[in-house]
């Protein structure tokens, strides 16, 4: 008994020590930021200006506006084609890639009719050659639904919502095996269709394009061709939102946040001072519009060992990101449907989470809605003032009667997100008194009278080298 009492006393003592250590750790975390901040001089000494910021645009889209019945019907139609392998039949109305094309085209044509003809639907046919076409030219088609912008200056700026409608079984060149592709990527196609339904009833300053591409599983062939097509048509890509594998949310506690992948370069890397690529600025804008509770930023090009239709856009220096579900289950991707040792494989509708998918639709639609309402981004943003007490920003912008002004953004060099330093009404030069050029990164974005913001344009170093 004496040994038992001694052990119990020791346990109580250990618990008290552990509790004390936990309290100390919590206190250290609570005061650490204050101590660090107190060790740095204030910039500027009197505090930054109180920026008068306009509210975001009215009419924010709710997930409740996205119909689950519509999403389920679209994905059911596409999965019922049996396979949508890009090198399967384009002519069979009941099985193959042509079956998928027919369903998508009919859906977009219905939306176009409901829009009063504002949405313009077309099919872009082309040939491409790759290892997965057996190194022979193969037929491909992209389906485009274009909602032209109403502003003469901004109408050639396009914000694009995309998904690929081809699918694949275990073998990427097997055109006979079943490949329902409910998640990869009927879910992404459904996002584009649902976003078009939500947005095509109204006008926007810039152009919106909803596209379903083929040839993704053969080597991003449809999206590679799309980059060239848009350039030939004279469009400037304001932002490309690739939705690929966005229909499932397997982990307990769903729905979770959708992941948004963005990179500095197509290799996914970049120097420490080069973290402000067009794609990264698009990702930051997505998070700011949709909220941190809705999207999770992933600062890499894509999932390791995988590729997506945003890559050709990134390679072209254009702003492009990938939306993908929170935690993937690889038993239900790139798998011929089957059961082995009581384990089921296959990309089937029953594994989808339509509540999560509705949120992804909203996340896409609200982003392109706001960006298409915004003024053009500023140009020639240059930072000077090195070896002086003040940071100086210069930029230019075309005349725009719908623009309210500009927001000057800054962040710590170790911070992934911008915050607003001040708001100004006109382009030219802004002097940030008492702000070091060394301790922060800077950017400028345009703000419309409606509260819509353009993408941020990071400031380039304009100080002559020594």
In the predicted model, what is the mean pLDDT of the chain? Answer: 91
> What is the per-residue pLDDT for 16?
61
Domain range annotation of the chain: 63-373, 379-461
> What is the per-residue pLDDT for 189?
98
For residue range 173-226, what is the model confidence (pLDDT) as tens digits?
A: 999 999 999 999 999 999 999 999 999 999 999 999 999 999 999 999 999 999
122 DSSP β-pair partners: 144
Per CATH, is 379-461 categorized as 3.40.50.11260? no
Question: Is the pLDDT at 17 greater than 90, yes or no?
Answer: no
160 closest CA partner among 284, 58, 267, 310: 310
For residue range 253-290, what is the model confidence (pLDDT) as tens digits?
A: 999 999 999 998 766 544 334 578 999 999 999 999 99
For residue range 314-326, what is the model confidence (pLDDT) as tens digits?
A: 999 999 999 999 9
For residue range 30-80, what is the model confidence (pLDDT) as tens digits?
A: 555 555 667 899 999 988 888 889 999 999 999 999 999 999 999 999 999
Q: Outline where 40-147 has alpha helix (H).
A: 68-79, 97-114
Fold of the domain built from segment(s) 63-373: Aminopeptidase (3.40.630)
Report the length, in residues, of the chain: 466
Write the CB contacts of 341 (distance below 8 Å, at least 6 apart in sequence).
none
297 closest CA partner among 310, 288, 308, 309: 288
Rg over CA atoms, the chain: 26
Write the CB contacts of 175 (distance below 8 Å, at least 6 apart in sequence).
83, 85, 87, 88, 89, 96
């Amino acid at each position: 008994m004496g040994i038992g009492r001694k052990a119990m006393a020791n346990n109580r003592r250990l618990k008290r020590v552990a509790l004390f250590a936990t309290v100390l750790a919590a206190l250290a975390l609570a005061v650490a930021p204050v101590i660090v901040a107190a060790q740095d001089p204030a910039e500027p000494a009197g505090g930054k200006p109180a920026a008068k910021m306009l509210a975001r645009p009215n009419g924010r889209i709710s997930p409740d506006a996205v119909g689950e019945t519509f999403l389920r019907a679209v994905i059911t139609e596409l999965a019922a084609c049996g396979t949508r392998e890009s090198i399967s039949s384009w002519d069979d109305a009941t099985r193959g890639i042509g079956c998928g094309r027919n369903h998508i085209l009919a859906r977009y044509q219905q939306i176009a009719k409901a829009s009063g003809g504002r949405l313009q639907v077309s099919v872009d046919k082309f040939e491409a050659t790759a290892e997965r076409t057996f190194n022979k030219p193969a037929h491909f088609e992209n389906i485009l639904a274009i909602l032209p912008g109403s502003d003469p200056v901004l109408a050639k700026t396009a914000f694009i919502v995309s998904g690929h409608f081809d699918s694949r079984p275990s073998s990427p060149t097997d055109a006979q095996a079943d490949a329902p592709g409910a998640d990869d990527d009927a879910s992404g196609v459904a996002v584009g269709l649902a976003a078009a339904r939500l947005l095509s009833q109204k006008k926007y300053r810039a152009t919106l394009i909803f596209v379903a591409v083929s040839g993704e599983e053969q080597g991003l062939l449809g999206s590679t061709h799309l980059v060239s097509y848009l350039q030939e048509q004279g469009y400037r890509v304001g932002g490309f939102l690739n939705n690929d594998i966005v229909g499932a949310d397997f982990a307990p506690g769903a729905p979770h946040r959708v992941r948004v992948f963005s990179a500095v370069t197509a290799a996914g890397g970049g120097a420490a001072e080069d973290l402000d690529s067009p794609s990264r600025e698009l990702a930051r804008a997505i998070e700011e519009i949709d909220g941190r509770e809705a999207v999770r930023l992933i600062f890499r090009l894509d999932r390791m060992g995988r590729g997506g239709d945003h890559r050709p856009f990134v390679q072209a220096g254009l702003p492009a990101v990938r939306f993908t579900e929170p935690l993937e289950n690889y038993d239900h991707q790139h798998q011929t449907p089957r059961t082995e040792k009581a384990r089921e494989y296959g990309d089937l509708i029953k594994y989808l989470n339509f509540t999560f998918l509705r949120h992804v639709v909203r996340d896409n639609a609200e982003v392109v809605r706001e960006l298409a309402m915004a003024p053009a981004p500023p140009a020639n943003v240059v930072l000077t003032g090195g070896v002086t007490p003040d940071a100086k920003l210069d930029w230019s912008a075309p005349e725009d009667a719908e623009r309210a002004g500009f927001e000057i953004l800054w962040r710590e060099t170790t911070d992934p997100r911008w915050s607003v330093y001040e708001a100004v009404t006109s382009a030219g030069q802004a002097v940030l008194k008492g702000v070091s050029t060394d301790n922060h990164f800077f950017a400028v974005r345009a703000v419309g009278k409606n509260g819509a913001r353009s993408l941020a344009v990071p400031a380039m170093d304009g100080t002559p080298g020594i």
